[in-house]
Structure 1
């Protein structure tokens, strides 16, 4: 009796631009679904939001302040595959990542 085990690759993506992150996840998932992967899931993680408060004038008017916000959007892609076909999945994944990073 042969026991079949699935291995898992977990990829974490972070970006300030949520549209770019979504398109990158879509490109990766399209490429991986055409390979021998058994299951693919994209998980959205909570967005980190940092707010910076800055005085508008360095000498007077402490009540006058500006607020700046920095958001970091995060996704995790989990790829489940059969360990015997790992090489083909990783080679397709490398090609996809290079094409996404190039622009």
Structure 2
């Protein structure tokens, strides 16, 4: 088993549903712990909010408006000194749909 020295993997997870994001973080951290690598993780970044203002009726009541909001949740997990077994097991994970994963070596 080869060990890559002084490297880390940074995994950035994004989702609109925070419960899916929490579940995905737990799966990744458990996988890293099974392969005996240290992970510092599930660091929550600030939630990004997008607010849209929409007219309720376009012809008569111009003062009547509705606001809709989309929240984007983000988490970061760092895996220090990963082995090849760790990388292989991370590639085979089954992550729920709706979670965007960005991996930097």
Shorter-chain TM range is: 0.7 to 0.9
Query: What TM-score do you get using the length of structure 2 for normalisation?
Result: 0.81
Say what the alpha-carbon RMSD is for the aligned residues.
Answer: 2.0
- Contact kept in structure 2, 1:54 and 1:67, CA below 8 Å: yes
Query: 3-state DSSP class of the match of 1:13?
Result: strand
Flag the structure with larger Rg.
Answer: 1
> 1:100 corresponds to which residue?
95
Give the 5 Å matches for 1:1-103.
5-81=5-81, 85=83, 87-96=84-93, 99-101=94-96
Deviation of the 1:40 alpha carbon: 3.1
State the number of aligned residues.
95
Q: Which stretches in structure 2 are left out of the alignment for 5+ residues? A: 99-105
After TM superposition, the score normalised by the length of structure 1 is 0.83
